Amino acid sequence: MPEGDTIFRAARTLHQLLADGRVTRFESTFPALNRVNDDRPIAGRSIESVASRGKHLLITFSGGLILRTHMRMNGTWHVYPPGARWKMPRRSMRVLLETADVVAVAFNVPVAEFITIRDLARHRPLASLGPDLLDPDFDRAEALRRLRARSSAQIGDVLLDQRVLAGIGNVFKSEILFLARVHPFTSMDALADAVLDRLLNIGLDTLRANVLSPAQTLSVASGRRTTRSLDPREKLWVYARGGRPCRRCGTRIASRAAGPDARLTFWCPKCQPEVSLG
């Protein structure tokens, strides 16, 4: 499922292939995008940059126009040489951008809109984002302030709140909490500042390790991983391992559906003991 690391890598690849290119064809199944294209054609514009903000992907065109997409659970961007056969059916296409060298296709992307650079700072979904863990200028002080502001919430829910920290999804939530030895249903009131600081350190380290380019790592292993093991069978510590033995202590991994979307949370009862305020 797309989380901050997925969007970061997608943006990096799209930037490498599209930046400085000129759009020769634009298509979309979104009526709102097509209305903008009718008034302010995308074909003929150059692509200035592609970047990520949390789970949002932003493609900036000349003329001050930005395409924002959000993958949600099933969206994905593919890139192909012109004329190449797509790996997904055309009915799944939502947005298409073509240059002389590349065809970039967004499949099953549920959210896509054009915004202007002028309106970027006022755009609610983007302006409300918390500090992005993959931003080189990550604001630790602001992140700690936003964490502390959610004093009555449970840490597992807080880590998923993009208004607190941008980029963490359900997989990284469970993995970061395991690495920090924090029970996922612990109230923020029960966590000392040192624990929150440790969570941030682990979050930064874990997400950034998952966006290293091939030139930055000697690892031949692929796919998201938090264990740092090169064994393809041991990518994650606890996520999706309910009922299986903990890789550290052998205790059975527990799981529970929680939150507004009833997402599954995974943890080790021994490595992540419950904390009580009473």
Instruction: Give the active site residues.
Output: 2-3, 55, 263
Query: Which secondary structure element, helix H or strand E, spans residue 36, and what is its range?
Result: helix 31-39
Give yes or no for a contact between 32 and 16, defined as CB atoms under 8 angstroms apart: no
Environment class of residue 3 by beta-carbon count within 10 Å: exposed (0-12), middle (13-18) or buried (19+)? buried
What whole-number distance in Å separates Cα of residue 116 and Cα of residue 1? 28
**In 93-210, which ranges are continuous DSSP H helix?**
124-127, 140-149, 155-160, 170-180, 193-209
Query: Which secondary structure element, helix H or strand E, spans residue 230, and what is its range?
Result: none
Give yes or no for a contact between 99 and 24, defined as CB atoms under 8 angstroms apart: yes
Please state, in angstroms and as integers, the Cα–Cα distance from residue 131 to each residue in 11, 126, 166, 261, following that order. 18, 11, 6, 23
Give yes or no for a contact between 10 and 77, defined as CB atoms under 8 angstroms apart: yes
What whole-number distance in Å separates Cα of residue 66 and Cα of residue 38? 16
Query: Which secondary structure element, helix H or strand E, spans residue 33, and what is its range?
Result: helix 31-39
